[in-house]
Structure 1
């Protein structure tokens, strides 16, 4: 792997520990309405935008599923948990290293801009990313390459020279399809053989990513 000229990262489950809160909120919302969520269905949702999630819910619960009612309960439960949102271990150190190496960086997320701004502000990270690409900035979401291609375009860096950091299968596929040097930092989903085949390496955490970037710059 050559030294990257920019770093583009996912947000949920990569920079912030949102995925566990999202999971807890989903299971609680389902119980509240009378649905039984399963780990298998939830795992397929990780990293996806609402249209895909809605299709998975309908497929699992049937056409009678009141998806918008469930979505509203899910959002309400998540907001109640949001004050507990933690930054992922190593994220602050990684950003410090990117500053020291003068590497431009961006976020490529399936979440919306309001959520991204809120999470960044919660942990005093406002302005630490040169670009934020969120829902509404691209026509096709992950696993299509559009979010990552848009981020590279805004940074003015060839996608092949970008290091992409992801925690979800759908995100890894998006970054790899964009032609980026892709690294998976597993969160809820473990790295399987497909992911290993798409990534330049699997990192145990963001500290490992930081250490590798430092080593490549020496």
Structure 2
């Protein structure tokens, strides 16, 4: 474990919070390069080439929304739902079982489970996120799991975090969000929740 990062994360998360809400991809597990490669490979099946930096820019968006944005920027016509299904397949077959934890964040979740309510809020497909949490050994610690399709709007809108808070029966202002992407930070702010950006160890 990166002890200094764990200590910093623990310091930043100290406070009168009743729930911790963690993003998954890029926050609990270091799998964003794998997701980016999945997008690139499926786009290639459509004969579409795009700058992969867009995936980091839109980290946390539902896959269908990312595809819609790529279509908009590149004047392409990939089918969002078809793309989502195929991307999930490529990621599951090539990358999912090889994921590794971001250890100081996973350890932080484990330490705080039972002290505060625990939720995971992701823009990913539920089956893939469920399996990710199982591989990380934390599925049983997660009380509420919100994924793509569970709310009408995904990140950067507040809906997924507000739904998690509702299911946990915790006021939004008493929830602390752990994220690695700007869309997730914007969603947390829209939900009136404080946040920690785990890759930069900043608080807002």
TM-score (norm 1): 0.75
Q: Which structure 2 residues correspond to residues 1-218 of structure 1 after superposition, within 5 A?
A: 2-65=15-78, 71=84, 74-79=87-92, 80-99=94-113, 102-186=115-199, 199-200=203-204
Structure with the greater relative contact order (CA < 8 A, sep ≥ 6): 1 or 2?
2
CA distance in 2, matches of 1:51, 1:171: 16
Deviations 1:133-171 (A, max 9, x none): 222322221111111111111111111111111111111
The alignment yields a C-alpha RMSD, in angstroms, of 2.5
User: Larger C-alpha radius of gyration, 1 or 2?
Assistant: 1
Offset of 1:21 from its aligned partner? 0.7
How many residue pairs align between the two structures? 190
8 Å CA contact 1:41, 1:60 repeated in 2: no
CA distance in 1, matches of 2:172, 2:129: 22
CA distance in 1, matches of 2:164, 2:102: 22
CA distance in 1, matches of 2:102, 2:138: 13
**Mean Cα deviation higher: 161-170 or 132-141:** 132-141
Change (3 A) 1:136 1:36: closer
Q: Which runs of 5+ in 2 are unaligned?
A: 1-13
CA distance in 2, matches of 1:141, 1:16: 20
8 Å CA contact 1:110, 1:135 repeated in 2: yes
